[in-house]
Amino acid sequence: MKADDLSLSAAALQSWLRVQREAPPLAARATALRGALLGCPQVRQVWYLAWQPSSCTYAQEDDGPSLPPGQGDPLQASDQALIEALEARPCLSFEVLRQLPCWLAGRLRRAALHHGQALALELQPGQPGLLLLQVDEAAGLEWLPWLRELLEQMIRLASGLARTAPLLSDDPLPAVLLDAEARPLDSNVALQSLLGQRSLAQLGELLPVNHLPLIRACLQQNRAIESVETQDGERVLVWSFIPDQADRRVLARCREATREIRESREAARAQRLYRLITENTTDLISRHTPDGVFLDASPASWTLLGYWPEELRGVSVTSLLHPQESGLQIRQAAEALEQDGYHTMSFRIRHREGHYLWFETASRAIRETYTGAVVEVVSVSRDITARIQAEENKRRLAEVVEANTDLVLFVEPGGRLTHLNPSARRALGIASEQVLPELGCLLLSEDLARLEREGWTRADECGVWSSEARLLPLSGGSLPVSLVLLAHRGAGEERYYSLVARDMTERELREAQQRRHQDELAHTARLVTLGELASGIAHEINQPLAAVVNYASASQRYLQQAASDTAALDKVSQGLARITEHANHASEVIKRLRAFLRKGQRRMQALNLAEVAREAVRLCQWEAGATQVAVLDLLPDDLPPVYADRVLLEQVLLNLLRNAIDANREVHAGSASQIRLEVREHVGSLAIRVIDQGPGVSEEHLGKLFTPFYTSKAEGLGLGLSMSRSIIEGFGGALEASPAAGGGLCLECRLPLGRGEEAEGEAGQT
């Protein structure tokens, strides 16, 4: 053996010697010896066996690995040959032992033990024993007899020494005597067991890091220092230091408190967690007597009810309930807690400020251990007012949807109908028990295409999309509706849609009636206008008629002279040509008047705006000439066609021109003035302007120009501009007024451009 190995074994044996001196049971001595010898690097395994006279065999006493049983019948087992061999020779090699006719030899053979020795050794006086040492193959066996002699001497030495004080030796807790410098003086068996494979010199690994200052303080202050925790791997040790002033030494005792400390820490952690949860949860946690009196409450009582916990102690829950809460409900809750131990209920409770909140409370009964009687109730309450209100709003909304006279259809993204309100079922002819069709079956193909093209996308982006459409009831026919598509998002972020359709049948009838009424008014207005232009019209017709009469009389005279003057025939021919010209002129005037006075359905068509405007100018040309007002035509001939009714558009332009003539007459009575006709093109529309040189209109009265019955003329009715705006808006255009540059008023009439082939066809006809 090396010198370092010998010193290590000596320290280990010294520790075993302390145990031997305490005279513990044989098993404790064997275990301590085994631990000391395993500290030697050459020793691989150690067993100590004691002689059993009753069975004449050796039995293992230490806590090491068990040897396997021997060969043969256990009832015939005997180690008598071995004990006799040891009396003659106390050290036997494993090779020799394996050859003996004994039970232990078979156990060694079955354990495959080859290199080692069996040493006869009595750990307890009068109790023969055997020490088995298995050593490394490379180590010799010559030192083992020397080890046996050393162990026998140490056993005799230990038996001759006095035992330690009973306080140390009999203490079931690990204990060690330390001097003032923290050097170990003595220890008990329990400490040796605590050290395990470590020697007493390694005791510092188990002591607190600051054990030396603790020992000195203990001696200086002559007081015990208790509950000092240390960590030894996974173990937690709690040390106590007790001073002995007479001998200037300290008794250090410890106990393993791993489980206790961990449970204490877990309990403290859980207590902090529960306290944190209780004090910070938004729910109200409360304790009550079985009859509902508050015993305690969490701080959430202030947030929820406006009461601090100490204010609620001793207050009955029933005193805070809404008067309409049923006493039966309270009794049912008490019965459920008594029978089942658990109950959940919803009720209204009064806030400190006087208003009521909806609470949902889950209560659990705490029972007396032996009798099972309910002694306390623990409740967790939460404010569900917002949820109740939301549910009530949903219920009311559902009632509104079901009672709504509009058609409401709920649709999934794929177009599958999931619900129809009663109005929708009635209008579409779908019975309540009937399977709902696909949405595509209820729409015209062009409406469905428009919905697929832009409806879903627009609703997803903006939340709403609207359009005019026609629904197709299953019973036949079609239903004009104003359609609104709404996009919704469910609680799980899934998309769904609702279609709200308003029946526009009455509106269509009303609009048709309104159009007829408006046409009647327009026709009446044209008659009034014609009456006002009667003198000009008479002049327009009288002039060609007078010319016809004159040319007819002259032609008659020239015919009488035809026999004597051949040139007279040429003059007759010229006269007849003039008669034809003036007759056609009179016919055109009458034709224009008949067209202007025509009454019938509107005929929307593509028109040349310049031609219609010039026709209106001709109708009021005599009135303009009589007041020395010149109409300056700045309209180009290549204007794009507009979409309108020709007669109504001509009536609007005539009305604007006559208003402009009246305005010029106010300012330029007896002198010449002019009215300008201009045009400008907008996106998708064409605007014609009538600009006069009249007094203009103030800002205050500008907004009233198109108000029915508002007029600045003494004889006017105030319906011309109002009716004109209605007509233009019916065409999809607009009529607006603004101050003109340099004075006067500018009336701008914007009209939509013509539509496709129809516009081109109508433009070619005009």
Could you tell me the CATH number of the domain that includes residue 175? 3.30.450.20
Domain-embedded: residue 269: no
Helix or strand or coil: residue 497?
strand
Residue reference for tokens 């200086």 = 220
Q: Is 618 helix (H, G, I), strand (E, B) or coil?
A: helix
Q: Quickly list H helices, 298-384.
A: 300-305, 309-312, 327-339
- Mean pLDDT, to the nearest integer, of 473-493? 82
The domain boundary, picked from 480, 503, 526, lies at 503
In a domain, 725, yes or no: yes
What's the pLDDT score for residue 443?
A: 87
Neighbouring-strand partners of residue 300: none
What is the structure's pLDDT at 356? 93
Domain count for the chain, please give it. Answer: 6
* 524 and 499, same domain (yes or no): no
Q: Kindly state whether residues 635 and 566 are assigned to the same domain.
A: no
Is residue 397, in this structure, part of any structural domain at all? no
pLDDT band at 699 (very low <50, low <70, confident <90, very high): confident
Residues 697, 664: contact at Cβ < 8 Å? no
Same domain, 541 and 635: no
Residue with more model confidence, 380 or 16: 380
187 and 151 both lie in a single domain: no
Maximum average pLDDT range among 149-163, 209-223, 441-455, 744-758 = 209-223
Query: Tens digit of pLDDT for each residue in 534-585?
Result: 554 555 565 567 667 666 777 777 777 776 776 777 777 777 777 776 676 5
pLDDT value of position 3: 41
Question: Are 317 and 197 members of one domain?
Answer: no
Measure CA of the first residue to CA of the last residue in the chain; give whole Å. Answer: 133
Let me know if residue 642 belongs to a domain: yes
Q: Has residue 24 got a pLDDT over 70? A: yes
Q: Are residues 225 and 327 in the same domain?
A: no
Question: Which of 503, 537, 557 is the last residue in one of the domains?
Answer: 503
- pLDDT category of residue 760 using cuts at 50, 70 and 90: very low
> Where is mean pLDDT largest: 62-71, 300-309, 715-724?
300-309
Whole-number Å distance between alpha carbons of 85 and 17: 28
pLDDT confidence bin for 512, thresholds 50/70/90: low
Could you tell me if 408 and 352 lie in one domain?
A: no
- Model pLDDT for residues 91-112, shown as the tens digit of each residue: 999 999 999 999 999 999 999 9
Single out the residue in 542, 576, 600 at which a domain terminates. Answer: 600
CATH of the domain at 610: 3.30.565.10
- Which residues lie below 8 Å from residue 302, measured CB to CB, with a gap of 6+? 308, 309
- Residue 469 and residue 425 share a domain: yes
pTM, entire model: 0.39
CB 215 within 8 A of CB 180: yes
**Looking at the structure, do residues 139 and 249 belong to the same domain, yes or no?**
no
Structural domain boundaries, residue 747: 602-766
Lowest-confidence pick of 406-410, 523-527, 596-600:
596-600
pLDDT of residue 543: 55
249 and 288 inside one domain:
no
